[in-house]
């Protein structure tokens, strides 16, 4: 608890021009929190060296343990307003939330001062109810476990070893090398990117791994189980237990099943082979038809439209529904009898062909070059719907195009049939202007990249939420939770995916992945041992604290944690694993007994802050009041940007940033309603199968809980429409003010005052 506060009102950036900053300082010093306020001052430019020196002098002189900076958004000047780890800082955004975004309502002019006072009180209250977190510091195992001894895994192992970490490299097969060792060559991996094809040099990588004394290679083995938490994992490999800090999952891919290729004649026509089979042919040194002859023409089908018939890319389908029951733990199953044995559904489908389309294009170009190299008299045809060669690989396409022996056309393959020993491809919509029939001695159909996680839990976690990554249906089995913002990240802190297990990719990208995932694993170890969060709240010292005396073992927190951070005991009491935790507070939002809080972000702390909003007794005496709980990852920055760009909104709203909408506890809404607040707006990220939530499930869970809240409000005679959640992305600065104004208008015109107002 901060007990000696310094409150500072900045006069810069238009604040001083619109507000009486000295009067505001006096308000803070003499107001309801006067007992905790040791110093309250204004300063023309608080972030100036003089301003900062003034605060530092006050801290020294008065022994302040909390500083409330009433200036700009916490997203600005964060590097200025920090005063060591003994002094807590609360930022009150007068500039963005009060001055810049202020909109005068002729009915009740002069609201700006009221807004400023509310925010100052909220800021002081938050700090008064906040503690400095004191995490436990675990002894971290500094070993990186790399699963998969293919190109990506070996590169990751070498990267981690180069940075001084010991590595355990586990490979299922008896030899290292993975898929790269079965390839003849690769498409270009370096400048000028237009060479025919390139040696991979996998033998050298294997040699480097074997010669590195920091890397312990275990072949012919898999990860049988992974128990514990980041920095303190116990990994069981080939029956033996190893102490591991973090993992890189580079388990790669398997070729897609032949059944999905049937429409292209695969399996029924002898001279139709897959790209993987063609690669093996080239590796053995000869391109041959089924009769053992060198073909005079080889056609590569890149267009997969015939294979995609009836495949829908709409909403996630079954995945959206989610499993009814959490998978059972071994041993538990027999007792409860709910589920006999854990079944991991195979997520492979024809869609994997579509997901692999970039590689299908590049591999077709590469293998067309094989034809030119290994059978120089033969022609190579490529029939594509989209030649997907993004970025620098365009040069590779151009180079292939320049070869007179490689003939390319756009086209939709209508059928593949046998004609003697040759294969005839009928294609529509071709560049040649008409439907064409192309005869080839050998036809190569695409090979889908299917991640190993599509059919197997792979990591075999000993977690309450089961042995596999959750919700991989959303990604058709690819081990990826949010690839745009956070590559390598999975739904399990401490396990970082690299290579084709997370996205179909070539060796160039895989090498980058290996480096990225190895660094993430190291970051995880080096964060866990300092007691801080890894991601996305990197460096956050706080962690959820449980008041177990009041816990009713309802299991909501353990089930809802998006990251499986909480295990539980036989009775159902949660067992926290701080190093698995991402500090989003989804558990705090879930708990009906309100037993979970963070030292500096708690249920009562936020409830107190809400109660600091001064609510006029009736609408006629000063307008409505709306609380806006906004996600600090996307919605809050969007509001800052809106204010910066001169947008304004209703003067009756009060913003309260939250770590994630998942952390919003129903009691806050109840607190607001009992205080006479007319409406609660919740601004969070997009949810659903293409969610943008930084904590994956937060905004979705909030939406689900909101329905319960609305139901409870209904029972109290409060209209459920007073609580509404909106999806806001970070680029919606131009739309957010409209959303706010519309919500305020709706509440005031359609619903009127909160029936509890004035009580």
Partner 1 sequence: MSTTVKVQPDLKFVKELQAVGGDSLKKCYQCATCSVVCPLSPSDSPYPRKEMVWAQWGLKDRLVNDIDIWLCHNCGTCSTLCPRGAKPGDLLAALRNMAYRNLAPLPIIGKLMSSSAGLLPLAAVPALIYGIIWIIMAGKLGSFLPTFEWDEAAHGWKAVSDGMVVFGGLFPGDYTIDPIFILVFLFMLWGFFAGVRNMLKAFEAQPKTFIVGRKKEPCFIACLIDTFKYEILQHTQFNECNDEESDELDQKRAGGHKMLMYAFICLMVVTGVVASGHWGGWFLTAIGIESLGHIVSAIGHTPMPLYHPIKLLAFVGAGLGVYGLIALTKRRVNLDQEKQSSSWYDWYLLTLIWTIFLTGLGAFVFRILGVALLAYPLYYVHLIGVFMLLAYLPWSKLGHLVYRTVALSYAKKIGRIPMGDAK
Which stretches of the chain bind partner 1, using CB under 8 A? 297, 379, 381, 398, 401-405, 407-410, 426, 431-439
Q: How far is the CB of 189 from partner 1 (least distance, A)?
A: 24
* Residues near 390 by beta carbon (within 8 Å), at least 6 away in sequence: 358
Residue-by-residue DSSP string for 655-716: EEEES-GGG--HHHHHHHHHTT--EEEEEE---STT---TTSSHHHHHHHHHHHHHHHHHHT
Q: Which residues pair with 266 in a beta bridge?
A: 269
Q: How far is the CB of 577 from partner 1 (least distance, A)?
A: 54
> Is 227 or 407 the residue whose CB approaches partner 1 more closely?
407
Q: How far is the CB of 306 from partner 1 (least distance, A)?
A: 16
> Is 409 or 604 the residue whose CB approaches partner 1 more closely?
409
Q: How far is the CB of 364 from partner 1 (least distance, A)?
A: 16
> Is 164 or 433 the residue whose CB approaches partner 1 more closely?
433
Lookup: tokens for 620:
């006629």
> Is 216 or 395 the residue whose CB approaches partner 1 more closely?
395
- Would you call 735 exposed, middle or buried from its count of C-beta atoms within 10 A (0-12, 13-18, 19+)? middle
Lookup: tokens for 108:
């009740």
Q: How far is the CB of 286 from partner 1 (least distance, A)?
A: 21
Q: How far is the CB of 433 from partner 1 (least distance, A)?
A: 6
> Is 102 or 397 the residue whose CB approaches partner 1 more closely?
397
Q: How far is the CB of 218 from partner 1 (least distance, A)?
A: 49
Cα–Cα dist 117/125, whole Å = 12
Cα–Cα dist 616/410, whole Å = 69
Query: Which three-class secondary structure string do you get for 473-511?
Result: HHHCCCCCCCCCCCCCCCCCCCEEECHHHCCCCCHHHHH
> Is 207 or 398 the residue whose CB approaches partner 1 more closely?
398
Verify cis geometry, omega within 30 degrees of 0, for the bond prior to 536: yes
Cα–Cα dist 524/536, whole Å = 11
> CA angle at residue 512 from 511 to 513, to 5 degrees?
90
Lookup: tokens for 626:
């709306």
Q: Are 583 and 537 in contact (CB under 8 A)?
A: yes
Q: How far is the CB of 362 from partner 1 (least distance, A)?
A: 16
Residue 738 to residues 106, 683, 732, Cα–Cα distance (Å):
19, 13, 10
> Is 134 or 437 the residue whose CB approaches partner 1 more closely?
437
Q: How far is the CB of 403 from partner 1 (least distance, A)?
A: 7
Crossing angle (nearest 10°) for helices 275-283 and 357-374: 30
Kindly report the length of the chain.
Answer: 759
Q: How far is the CB of 380 from partner 1 (least distance, A)?
A: 10
Cα–Cα dist 30/287, whole Å = 88
Q: How far is the CB of 195 from partner 1 (least distance, A)?
A: 17
> Is 348 or 385 the residue whose CB approaches partner 1 more closely?
385
Q: How far is the CB of 427 from partner 1 (least distance, A)?
A: 9
Residue ranges with strand state E in 361-434: 379-384, 406-410, 412-419, 422-428
> Is 173 or 439 the residue whose CB approaches partner 1 more closely?
439
> Is 20 or 403 the residue whose CB approaches partner 1 more closely?
403
> Is 103 or 439 the residue whose CB approaches partner 1 more closely?
439
* Cα 626 from chain centre: 30
Residue-by-residue DSSP string for 432-448: TSS-EEEEESEEEE---
> Is 97 or 196 the residue whose CB approaches partner 1 more closely?
196
Cα–Cα dist 600/674, whole Å = 24
* Residue linked to tokens 């579509």: 354
> Is 409 or 482 the residue whose CB approaches partner 1 more closely?
409
Cα–Cα dist 39/4, whole Å = 8
The region that residue 318 occupies, defined by phi over 0 for left and psi between -120 and 50 for alpha, beta otherwise, is alpha
Q: How far is the CB of 440 from partner 1 (least distance, A)?
A: 10
> Is 36 or 400 the residue whose CB approaches partner 1 more closely?
400
Q: How far is the CB of 444 from partner 1 (least distance, A)?
A: 17
b/e burial code for range 378-404 (CB count within 10 A of at least 16 → b): bbbbbbbbebbbeeebebbbebbeebe
Lookup: tokens for 426:
């009928």
């Amino acid at each position: 608890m901060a007990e000696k506060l310094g409150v500072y009102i900045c006069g810069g950036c238009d604040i001083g021009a619109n507000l009486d900053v000295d009067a505001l300082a006096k308000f803070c010093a003499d107001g309801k929190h006067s007992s905790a306020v040791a110093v309250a001052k204004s300063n023309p430019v608080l972030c100036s060296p003089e301003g900062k020196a003034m605060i530092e002098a006050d801290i020294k002189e008065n022994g302040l343990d909390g500083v409330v900076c009433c200036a700009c958004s916490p997203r600005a000047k964060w590097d200025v307003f920090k005063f060591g780890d003994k002094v807590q800082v609360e930022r009150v955004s007068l500039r963005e939330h009060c001055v810049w975004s202020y909109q005068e309502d002729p009915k009740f002019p002069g609201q700006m001062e009221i807004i400023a006072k509310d925010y100052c009180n909220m800021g002081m209250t938050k700090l008064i109810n906040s503690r400095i977190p004191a995490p436990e510091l675990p002894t971290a195992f500094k070993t990186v476990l790399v699963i998969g001894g293919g190109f990506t895994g070996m590169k990751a192992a070498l990267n981690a070893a180069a940075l001084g970490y010991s590595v355990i490299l586990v490979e299922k097969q008896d030899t290292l090398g993975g898929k790269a060792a079965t390839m003849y060559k690769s498409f270009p991996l370096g400048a000028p990117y237009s060479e025919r094809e390139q040696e991979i040099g996998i033998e050298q990588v294997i040699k480097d791994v074997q010669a590195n004394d920091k890397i312990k290679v275990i072949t012919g083995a898999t990860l049988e189980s992974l128990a514990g938490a980041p920095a303190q994992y116990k990994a069981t490999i080939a029956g033996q237990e190893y102490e591991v800090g973090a993992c890189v999952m580079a388990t790669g891919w398997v070729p897609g099943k032949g059944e999905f290729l049937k429409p292209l004649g695969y399996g029924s026509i002898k001279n139709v082979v897959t790209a993987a089979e063609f690669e093996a042919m080239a590796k053995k040194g000869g391109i041959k038809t089924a009769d053992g002859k060198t073909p005079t023409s080889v056609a590569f089908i890149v267009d997969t439209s015939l294979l995609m018939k009836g495949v829908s890319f709409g909403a996630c389908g079954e995945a959206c529904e989610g499993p009814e029951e959490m998978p059972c733990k071994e041993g538990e199953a027999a007792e409860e009898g709910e589920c006999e044995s854990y079944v991991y559904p195979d997520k492979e489908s024809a869609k994997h062909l579509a997901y692999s389309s970039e590689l299908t294009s590049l591999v077709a170009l590469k293998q067309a070059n094989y034809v030119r190299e290994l059978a120089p008299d033969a022609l190579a045809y490529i029939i594509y719907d989209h030649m997907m060669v993004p970025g620098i690989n365009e040069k590779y396409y151009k180079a292939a195009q320049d070869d007179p022996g490689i003939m390319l056309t756009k086209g939709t393959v209508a059928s593949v049939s046998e004609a003697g020993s040759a294969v005839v491809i009928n294609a529509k919509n071709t560049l040649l202007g008409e439907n064409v029939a192309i005869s080839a001695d050998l036809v190569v159909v695409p090979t889908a990249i299917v991640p190993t996680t599509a059919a197997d839990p792979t990591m075999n976690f000993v977690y309450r939420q089961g042995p596999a990554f959750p919700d991989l249906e959303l990604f058709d089995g690819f081990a990826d939770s949010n690839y745009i913002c956070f590559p390598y990240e999975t739904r399990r802190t401490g396990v970082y995916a690299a290579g084709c297990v997370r996205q179909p990719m070539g060796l160039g990208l895989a090498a980058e992945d290996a480096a990225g995932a190895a660094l993430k694993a190291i970051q995880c170890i080096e964060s866990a041992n300092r007691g801080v969060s890894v991601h996305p709240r990197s460096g956050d010292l706080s962690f959820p604290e449980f008041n177990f005396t009041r816990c009713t073992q309802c299991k909501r927190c353990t089930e809802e944690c998006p990251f499986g951070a909480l295990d539980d005991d036989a009775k159902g009491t949660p067992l926290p694993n701080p190093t698995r935790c991402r500090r989003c507070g989804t558990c705090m939002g879930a708990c009906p007994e309100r037993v979970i809080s963070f030292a500096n972000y708690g249920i009562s702390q936020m409830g107190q802050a809400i109660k600091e909003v001064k609510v006029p007794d009736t609408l006629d005496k000063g307008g409505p009041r709306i609380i806006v709980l906004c996600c600090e990852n996307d919605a809050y920055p969007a509001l800052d940007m809106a204010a910066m760009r001169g947008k304004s909104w209703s003067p009756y709203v009060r913003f309260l940033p939250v770590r994630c909408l998942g952390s919003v506890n129903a009691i806050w809404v109840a607190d607001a309603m009992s205080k006479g607040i007319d409406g609660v707006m919740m601004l969070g990220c997009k949810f659903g199968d293409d969610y943008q939530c930084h904590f994956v499930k937060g905004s979705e869970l909030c939406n689900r809980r909101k329905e319960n809240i609305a139901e409870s409000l209904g029972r109290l005679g409060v209209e459920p429409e007073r609580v509404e959640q909106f999806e806001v992305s970070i680029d919606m600065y131009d739309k957010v003010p409209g959303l706010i104004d519309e919500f305020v208008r709706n509440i005031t015109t359609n619903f009127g005052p909160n029936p509890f107002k004035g009580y």
